[in-house]
Structure 1
Amino acid sequence: MTRPTPTPARSAPALPDDLDKLLRRMRLPYLRAAAPDVIATAKAQRWDPAEVLRVLINEEVIGRDAATRRMRRKTANFPTGKTLTTWRPDDSSIPAATQQALATLEWIGRAENLAVSGPSGTGKSHFVEALAHAAIEADLRVAWFTLETLTGTISRAKADGSTARTVTRICRADLIVVDDIGMLPAGQDAAEAFYRIVDAAYERRSIAVTSNIHPSGFDTLMPKTLATATVDRLLHHAHLITTQGDSHRLQQALTGKGVHALT
């Protein structure tokens, strides 16, 4: 049976006050917003009562799902909002088959990791952020950090004695991203913060990292003992990708595409 599609009726009558209050009390905002038009359409088209109920509940589910995605995008703290829609696969040195396989997000379901390394401006952060946005659209949770912001988060937690709770909260995310490792010096605190997250997430959650240095060289950025333990866990179940080529940002700048033309 084809489900009827609600069509807004002209000047659909408002809900009775008592029904409106009940829906508010039951916290059904999307059902309440849709109800006047759905009821008017149902009367005009003589819908089955069960279908009216189904459509109204579906409106609430759709609204709640959209609200959840908005909240998760905000909580993830993405840097730019770049998605797969803005990603240009033909401009990337990442093999097309690899891009397509990662975009399925099946690796996140298997708690596998992703390490993308390569020169600055070759699309590492853009691609990983695009995957992270896709993960939220797929009803997954994402936490986004740079190594600097992760270090700050763990350092504050150490100061107030909430390290374990903070690490647990971060690891509720299905995908944890640590972006731009190697762009700034990483000392003992950064190495410890990174290790804590990688260790807690090991074989339980997915971690994606981007860096201008291959993970095997992280011991040049941070204390060797912590770097070795971290990389061992990070790479055990990881997809390793190396980007190549010139900086896309520099190419756009040199061709005048990085700014709007002055008039």
Structure 2
Amino acid sequence: MINNKERLSNLTRLLREMKMSVMADHLSDIYTNQSNQNLSTLDILEKIITEESDTRLRNKKERYRKAANLSVINARLENLIYSPKRKLKSETIEQLSTNDYILSNNNVIIQGATGTGKSYIACALINHAIDNGYNGLFFRMTDLLSKLQQADYNNSLDRLLKKISRADILVIDDFLLTNTTEQEQKYLMEVFEIRSREKSLILCSQMTYVEWHKKLGGGAIADAILDRAVSKSYKIFLEGESLRKIK
């Protein structure tokens, strides 16, 4: 006749085979701890299932954070600085913290001089979204264009665009600091087109919309990109001294 120790061993083995190693470990801990002897079957199930669920959720968030490739890993909305000189409105951040802009397929445009905290806000928004089950990708514009060009050369452009299309949020940092070539404009048009269908963009830039238009060639593609970027967007305009100098 099989004893309890063997039954426990069989159960933990089955749990591990089903990729539930946290439940297996927790079940063993509960069984070997004398203080748990009076727990009901439901109590035990609740403990091990909750532990498995919580661990999977934590791991999922960590995977999302790693995949996002944030420039400021620990950026948080609660740590934003709302000084009068910055002109950062808490009401706007409160609206964005609901994540409704993601559900509504709206963009966020963050503009301001270098060092005013544009990238930090973008990373904080992604971290907040990840905490609520969403995922995101962060690119500096030069890196994004480089990856698109390389993927095109390697005949894997469709695969990269599919990856970009799946992200709930796409951040493009240092947007249009420099002029773009015709080919780069076509790449950006592809990105903005697939994002405009059902996903959100966050753009961080030192430049004005007029300057964007010029740096995108000033033609029909520039019109199309700006229309997709600006028409449905929250706008944050940052002022004041560089936060790097203040620190």
TM-score > 0.5 by shorter chain: yes
Aligned residue pair count: 240
Contact 2:12 2:25 survives alignment (8 Å): no
The offset of 1:249, in angstroms, is 1.0
The offset of 1:41, in angstroms, is 5.5
Equivalent positions of 1:244-263 (< 5 A) are: 244-252=239-247
The letter of the residue matching 1:95 is K
Unaligned runs of 5+ in 2: none
Equivalent positions of 1:33-48 (< 5 A) are: 33-40=25-32, 44=36, 46-48=38-40
d(CA) in 1 for partners of 2:206 and 2:6?
59
Distance 1:49 1:151, change over 3 A: same
User: Could you say which structure has the greater relative contact order, defined with CA pairs below 8 angstroms and 6 or more residues apart?
Assistant: 2
Contact 1:114 1:208 survives alignment (8 Å): yes
**Deviation per CA, 1:32-51, whole angstroms, max 9, x where unpaired?**
22222333458635222122
Name 2:229's counterpart in structure 1: 234
**Deviation per CA, 1:63-105, whole angstroms, max 9, x where unpaired?**
1111111111111111121322673332342111112111221
d(CA) in 1 for partners of 2:182 and 2:23?
52
- 1:73 equivalent in alignment to 2:65: yes
Distance 1:16 1:52, change over 3 A: closer
- SS of 2:166's equivalent? coil
Contact 1:151 1:189 survives alignment (8 Å): no
CA RMSD of superposed structures (Å): 2.2
Equivalent positions of 1:56-205 (< 5 A) are: 56-84=48-76, 87-91=79-83, 92-205=86-199
The letter of the residue matching 2:226 is V
Distance 1:99 1:42, change over 3 A: farther
Name 1:52's counterpart in structure 2: 44
Contact 1:118 1:214 survives alignment (8 Å): no
Q: Which structure: greater helix fraction?
A: 2
Runs of 4 or more, structure 1, over 4 Å off, are 13-16, 40-43
TM-score (norm 1): 0.83
- 1:212 equivalent in alignment to 2:206: yes
Distance 1:41 1:17, change over 3 A: closer
Identity %: 22
